[in-house]
Amino acid sequence: YSFASGDSGQTLYIGSADSGVSFVVGGAFFTDMLDHTKGTLTPNSAIITDANNKIDKLIVDNTTIDSGDIRTDGNLSLLPSGGSVLVSGNVRTTNQFIGVYAGFDSDFSLKNTDDLTEGSTNLYYTSARSDSDTTDLVDSAYIRARQLTDFPYVDSAMVSRMIDSATGGIDSAVLTRI
């Protein structure tokens, strides 16, 4: 038994004094680490589980596991060496999620524009908006202005034959003669 101070004090050894080889087998140094309530993490003491094989918290470096929470003072990385990290419930973040969401492509492919909410400044086009914008741009004044500057040799009768709203299209035979 050693009465020295520090980590080697109050320690029970077994071995041969002649060979100088000894092995630690116990002593007050170790039993003093058992001086707390089971299941409670205590500084400078051994970790002892309670009757349900639990401890109240565990602290490793800057990460604390306590009451169902995992808290860290820095980044928390889950790095499986041979597989995936499986989450069986919902993932909730109160801050920013940074990384790769592996199911994004398959989830995104199941969506269409009906799933989007329209913003107030970034509007998407509907058939009604397209029709109204076309009507606003292509009226007789617009055609006359283009006729004078871009195509002075095209008269309004020819333009009327090219753009025929009754049939819903442009007559390609007329366009090829321009």
List, in sequence order, the alpha helices (H) in 1-126: 28-31, 104-109
pLDDT tens-place string over residues 70-125: 999 888 888 888 888 888 888 888 888 777 777 888 888 888 877 777 777 767 77
CA neighbor of 172 nearest in space, from 164, 130, 135, 156: 164
pLDDT of residue 113: 74
Whether the per-residue pLDDT at 49 is higher than 70: the answer is: yes
pLDDT tens-place string over residues 125-173: 777 777 766 665 555 666 666 655 556 666 666 655 555 555 555 555 5
Query: What contacts 106, CB < 8 A, 6 or more positions away?
Result: none
Place 52 in a pLDDT band, splitting at 50, 70 and 90: very high
Each domain of the chain, given as residue ranges in start order, spans 1-34, 127-176
DSSP, collapsed to helix, strand or coil, labels residue 24 as strand
Q: HSE on the CB side for 150, CA within 13 Å?
A: 8
pLDDT of residue 87: 82
User: How many residues in total does the chain contain?
Assistant: 178
Contact by Cβ (8 Å): 36, 42: yes
97 or 56, greater pLDDT: 56
Whether the per-residue pLDDT at 54 is higher than 90: the answer is: yes
The pTM for the full model equals 0.43
